[in-house]
Amino acid sequence: MFRKILIANRGEIAVRIIRACREMGITTVAVYSEADKEALHTQLADEAICIGPAPATESYLNMERILSACIAAKVDAIHPGFGFLSENSRFVEMCQKCHITFIGPSAEMMDKMGNKSEARKTMMEAGVPVVPGTREPVYDSQTGKKLAKEIGYPVMIKASFGGGGKGMRISYDPEDFEENFKVAQLESVRGFGDNTMYIEKYIQDPRHVEFQILADEYGNVVQLGERDCSIQRHHQKMIEESPSVALTPELRRRMGEAAIKAAKAVKYKSAGTIEFLLDRDQNFYFMEMNTRIQVEHPVTEMVSGVDLMKEMISIAEGKPLSISQEEIRLNGHAMECRINAEDPDNHFRPCPGVIREVHLPGGNGVRIDTAVYNGYEIPPYYDSMIAKVIVHGRNRQETIDKMRSTLGELIIDGVTTNVDFQYEILNHEDFQKGNITTDFIPEHFPEKMM
């Protein structure tokens, strides 16, 4: 059992973790940078320790300082949230050396899934469908070109350690293959210090459908349904919802089974997500596994009634899952809009500054996860996401109506946000019809992409 947990994060996710700990009777320790002295997580935790200057590299990414804080505060465990150190296997190993439980999967698991060509191979061997493509890593364009011909054009060239669209290029024919391979590989070497590539058949206008799973150390694995995260811009999700309009009950069952198979194949432990691409013909393919709690986890909490954060913590305590697959009932529809302090009319430039006034709506089926308050100053050093508006209704239409009503009531004065842009998306005929693919924003809002 954990007596005391340190939260190695900031913003709404740090607050979310503090609240889960409080419910569980666990004492919390916040860490904060010099820019976050007045932050909500700093104020809400039972204890707070300053770990350095504002830049994340000197504070929220500084492993030595965070572990020193753990030792000084005598904590049992550390929750990484998402981003920052949440997928850093070296940090997991350092926690282990300090006898502090890292709330998440093992370092080996992170490395296995962080290497995407290896993860692909593991899933192929486990019988989980993957996008048609290479089985072994590719290091040079000549070999790549031969393999691309076998796969059939167009193909997607991907960096094994890629993320956020970096180190990724489409090749439409043999003429442009070498150039694209070289550019993608160079980007990978520069960005991730690695030249390992893999090649997949290019799936046109796919949907991004991911399954939430929970797995304990006794081999129990459950899936809590899917989230459709197709509404993205520049690989940043904007709206997530569950269930996905694209799935039939039969397809949902098969994808859910594949997600459980994927987690069992690697003996996964903790909360995790299996990402699939879904093509127009309802074929689904494993893409990546996320070995962390995600931004959009509340969507699943709303439809399942399961507290993923508490479950993740109790798994790390060595407890078995509190629910079985048969007990999981997915209810109604949930949707999340990410609210960012950014200007959609100016290339989504971040807009830090003082929030003069904030009004957070409430009501039946409305949840707002945020760390902002009246007079709060959004520092310029971190992510621009300042709130998540999550609503729950009986069906998709009721949920969209509730989201529109909620965003209409939301007031964030003093900084520019993407609320109006979110509203435009919700009002779009194709969104309402459920015609959402990863091309939705570039297709319907081309002016915003320039």
Q: Give the x-and-dash track for 352-391 against ligand MV4 (CB under 6 A).
A: ----------------------------------------
Give the 3-state DSSP-derived string for the chain, with helices as H, strands as E and coil as C. Answer: CCCEEEECCCHHHHHHHHHHHHHHCCEEEEEEEHHHCCCHHHHHCCEEEEEECCCHHHCCCCHHHHHHHHHHHCCCEEECCCCCCCCCHHHHHHHHHCCCEECCCCHHHHHHHHCHHHHHHHHHHHCCCECCECCCCECCHHHHHHHHHHHCCCEEEEEEEEECCEEEEEECCHHHHHHHHHHHHHHHHHHHCCCCEEEEECCCCCEEEEEEEEECCCCCEEEEEEEEEEEEECCEEEEEEECCCCCCHHHHHHHHHHHHHHHHHCCCCEEEEEEEEECCCCCEEEEEEECCCCCCHHHHHHHHCCCHHHHHHHHHCCCCCCCCHHHCCCCCEEEEEEEECEECCCCCEECCEECCEEECCCCCCEEEEECCCCCCEECCCCCCEEEEEEEEECCHHHHHHHHHHHHHHCEEECCCCCHHHHHHHHHCHHHHHCCCCCCHHHHHCHHHHC
Binding to ligand MV4 by residue 144, rule CB under 6 A?
no
252 close to 298: Cβ distance less than 8 angstroms:
no
Binding to ligand MV4 by residue 276, rule CB under 6 A?
no
* Count of residues interacting with ligand MV4 (CB under 6 A): 15
Cβ-proximal residues to 35 (8 Å cutoff; 6+ apart), any chain? 53, 54, 379, 381
Among positions 206, 225, 272, 414, the unique one binding ligand MV4 when judged by CB under 6 A:
206
Q: Give the x-and-dash track for 155-184 against ligand MV4 (CB under 6 A).
A: -x--------x-------------------
Among positions 5, 13, 203, 407, the unique one binding ligand MV4 when judged by CB under 6 A:
203
Q: How far is the CB of 268 from ligand MV4 (least distance, A)?
A: 19
Binding to ligand MV4 by residue 292, rule CB under 6 A?
no
Binding to ligand MV4 by residue 232, rule CB under 6 A?
yes
Distance CA(276)–CA(259), nearest Å, equals 9
Binding to ligand MV4 by residue 117, rule CB under 6 A?
no
Among positions 2, 202, 348, 376, the unique one binding ligand MV4 when judged by CB under 6 A:
202
Q: How far is the CB of 207 from ligand MV4 (least distance, A)?
A: 8
Cβ-proximal residues to 97 (8 Å cutoff; 6+ apart), any chain? none
Q: How far is the CB of 310 from ligand MV4 (least distance, A)?
A: 29
Residue 208 or 227: which CB sits closer to ligand MV4? 208
Residue 93 or 279: which CB sits closer to ligand MV4? 279
Binding to ligand MV4 by residue 81, rule CB under 6 A?
no
Which residues does the annotation mark as catalytic? Answer: 292
Binding to ligand MV4 by residue 131, rule CB under 6 A?
yes
Distance CA(29)–CA(120), nearest Å, equals 38
Which span sits near ligand MV4 by CB under 6 A: 203-211, 346-354, 368-376, 407-415? 203-211
Binding to ligand MV4 by residue 123, rule CB under 6 A?
no
Binding to ligand MV4 by residue 438, rule CB under 6 A?
yes
Residue 153 or 319: which CB sits closer to ligand MV4? 153
Binding to ligand MV4 by residue 196, rule CB under 6 A?
no
Residue 119 or 224: which CB sits closer to ligand MV4? 119
Q: How far is the CB of 202 from ligand MV4 (least distance, A)?
A: 5
Binding to ligand MV4 by residue 200, rule CB under 6 A?
yes
Q: How far is the CB of 184 from ligand MV4 (least distance, A)?
A: 12
Residue 10 or 297: which CB sits closer to ligand MV4? 297
Window 235-254: residues binding ligand MV4 (CB under 6 A): 235
Binding to ligand MV4 by residue 233, rule CB under 6 A?
no
List interacting residues with ligand MV4 (CB under 6 A).
Answer: 131, 156, 165, 200-203, 206, 208, 232, 235, 277, 287-288, 438
